[in-house]
């Protein structure tokens, strides 16, 4: 999978057709020795953003259901009690979550493929992201809550270039790193 580095700058990394803008996915990293900030930006077009957004809620519902159903069934049906039931419930919940994650990723991949794109979690296959993410000695990912009042996503975490522009508005260094990431990705300032 090397198409990511071959596409034209600014072209949506997910579908290879649209142009990335403010809804592109941003991954900020802090240097382990403090100081530096760098932001990997994966270009994403509006159409792909819509595909990804539409999947968030059903995916969350499936995950919650997958975690809740096995313990509920065990509690209702299994002829055990006390500590054994608690242990079984815990195992059931973990197993349910694992199955749920598999179901959700398969479902998101099918839905994305129908729209001619790739699921949002594929961004972790992006060359630029992988290059920084594997360098755990040098960089650690920064995850922040989503404070952007204009955000239309259901994600509790900041996700897009626009989210981070808002979050970094009082942090000149991080903002500069974000804009540098955008330039590297071929994304120009959103209109
Ligand atoms: Zn796209």
Residue 38, token pair as written in the block: 């760098």
pLDDT at 2: 43
pLDDT at 5: 47
Ligand 1 center from residue 2 Cα (angstroms)? 17
Residues of the chain scoring pLDDT < 50: 1-7, 190-191
Q: How far apart are CA 138 and CA 66, in angstroms?
A: 37
3-state secondary structure at position 11: strand
Q: How far apart are CA 106 and CA 182, in angstroms?
A: 30
> Which residues, chain by chain, have CB under 5 Å from ion ligand 1?
12, 14-15, 18, 45, 48
pTM above 0.75, yes or no: yes
Ligand 1 center from residue 20 Cα (angstroms)? 7
Ligand 1 center from residue 186 Cα (angstroms)? 14
pLDDT at 175: 96
Cβ distance 109 to 17 under 8 Å?
Answer: no
Q: Is the dihedral of CA 39, 7, 146, 58 positive or negative?
A: negative
**Ranges of each domain in the chain:** 3-48+120-185, 50-114
Over residues 138-148, the pLDDT tens digits come to 999 998 888 88
């Amino acid at each position: 999978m090397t198409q990511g580095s071959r596409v034209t700058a600014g072209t949506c990394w997910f579908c290879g057709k649209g142009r990335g803008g403010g809804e592109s996915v941003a991954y900020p990293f802090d240097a382990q020795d403090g100081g530096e900030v760098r932001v990997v930006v994966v270009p994403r077009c509006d159409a792909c953003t819509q595909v990804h957004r539409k999947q968030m809620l059903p995916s969350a519902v499936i995950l919650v259901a997958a975690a809740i159903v096995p313990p509920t069934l065990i509690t209702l049906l299994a002829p055990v009690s006390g500590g054994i039931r608690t242990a079984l419930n815990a195992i059931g919940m973990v197993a349910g979550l694992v199955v749920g994650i598999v179901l959700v990723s398969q479902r998101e991949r099918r839905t994305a493929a129908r729209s001619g794109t790739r699921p949002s979690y594929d961004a972790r296959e992006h060359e630029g992201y992988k290059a920084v993410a594997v360098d755990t000695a040098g960089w650690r990912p920064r995850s922040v809550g989503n404070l952007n009042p204009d955000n239309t996503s259901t994600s509790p975490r900041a996700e897009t270039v626009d989210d981070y522009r808002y979050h970094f508005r009082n942090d000149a260094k991080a903002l500069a790193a974000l804009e540098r990431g955008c330039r590297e990705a071929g994304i120009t300032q959103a209109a």
